Amino acid sequence: MDVFSSMISRKFRNIAGERYEEIMNFYREFLLSEEEMHVPEVSSILMPIDGSVHVIPEKVYRLLSAYEGVSILLLYVIDMNVLRIVEGTLGKMEAEIFKGKELKRADEFLRAVEVKLSGFRISLRTEVIIGHKGDDVVRRAREHDMIIVSKKYGSEGARSLRISPLVFRIVHSIAKPVVVY
């Protein structure tokens, strides 16, 4: 991609002509820096999933097929706060039953995705955590180059919204490409 970058840089210089340096000094924030022109290598993708995500569309698999050799982490997050609320209101036994159901759902979903991705030349890992759907994803995203997330992720309490507020938070907090499906 460096070929693109240097060419684009050169062409923009041509458009600006002799004024290039002066323009750069005054309006630097509007111009792509050399660093920004570089498309970072994608070797690792994080895909957070939760109970709000019912299906991963075919078009996402088609995109993933472009990233041969990449490692993908399917991270299924079960909300720790919900478990606490269930335990606090209905008791420990009900909380265990709830947790069991969630873990079973996570396992089934992840297995279905694994089957879909089985023919891809990628390295796939799955993980189920009980944690915070926002904080944990933002933290784990540091270890990855791209995030692919459903617009419904974390939307249990706000199903009518077109995009979950949590997805907005993820897009805001992570300075890496985020694919929203």
Residue numbers of the site for another protein (CB under 8 A)? Answer: 1, 3-5, 7-8, 11-12, 15, 29-32, 36-37, 39, 57, 59-60, 62-63, 65-68, 148, 151, 161-163, 168, 171-172, 175-181
Q: Closest separation between CB of residue 148 and another protein, Å?
A: 8
Compute the distance between CA of residue 123 and CA of residue 107 in angstroms, rounded to an integer. 18
Residue 163: strand, helix, or coil: coil
Compute the distance between CA of residue 153 and CA of residue 76 in angstroms, rounded to an integer. 10
Identity at 83, one-letter amino acid code: L
Q: Closest separation between CB of residue 116 and another protein, Å?
A: 15
Q: Closest separation between CB of residue 119 and another protein, Å?
A: 16
Give phi and psi for 146, each to the nearest 5.
-150, 150
Decide if 180 contacts 151 (C-beta within 8 A): yes
CB nearer to another protein: pick between 39 and 97:
39
CB nearer to another protein: pick between 115 and 162:
162
CB nearer to another protein: pick between 62 and 142:
62
CB nearer to another protein: pick between 36 and 143:
36
Q: Closest separation between CB of residue 128 and another protein, Å?
A: 24
| Separation in Å, CA 92 to CA 61, 89, 97 | 39, 9, 9
